[in-house]
Amino acid sequence: MNTPEEEAALAGMLRLWARLTCADLETAPWDPAAAPPAVLFWDLDSRLPPPQLPDGPSALLVCSSSSQAAIDSYSLHPDGFLHKPIRQEDLHAALRRCIKVWWDALDRLEILSDRLRVRLPLCDLVWAEGARRGCLVHSSHECISNRESLSALEARLPRALFFRCQRSFLVNLTHVQKLDSQGFHMSDGAVVPLSRNSRAAAVQAYQRLRRLME
């Protein structure tokens, strides 16, 4: 980054992103002698051209306080452009676009489904509901039958990100698009209802996460 203050701010945002995404990644200043990074951030305001990354699983994200720099950066073939000051929401969107380079760093949940063991990235667990025998885990792509109870599943999840909104339902707060009188509106289109007793705690947990994102 162009200044130590901007570098520290970006490092803090990246640590928050890793926490919310459940990704085991480290942040460090660029070192050309070290192994290639999964994602390299480069500030175009520094006037220094970004280094040529070696072939392999790496992504380049560039940033600048100038809108013109977004057009000028096309010649660098970056994986994304971030306008300064960088917003947490924009950072999340840019990193999602290059998920292929950090996919293996995701924390995963092992689920015993019938006779198969599924290793689901925690960030892909949208919501879960209790069932007659165990629970049903809803990911971004499918519904997985899980032999363990919803309470047992909840005990294996980070409490800061996953909220038990009533006896039969649990949600990943990072997948909540909005909260209203109907309940949690999830990223997969589902609406997960709230119990009367859990509404105040649900609003508090959701607003706390939104403040972090902002």
Q: How far, in Å, are 7, 18, 46, 79, 208 from residue 27 at the CA level?
A: 10, 10, 19, 18, 25
Spatial contact of 146 and 153, defined as CB atoms under 8 Å apart: yes
Q: With CA atoms as reference, report the closest residue to 172 among 152, 192, 197.
A: 192
Consecutive 10-residue runs of the chain (214 residues): their mean pLDDT?
91 93 90 87 88 77 90 86 93 93 94 87 96 93 93 94 92 95 95 90 90 79
Copy the structure tokens of residue 15: 């640590």
Between CA 101 and CA 66 the distance in angstroms is 27
How much is the pLDDT for 36?
84
How much is the pLDDT for 210?
86
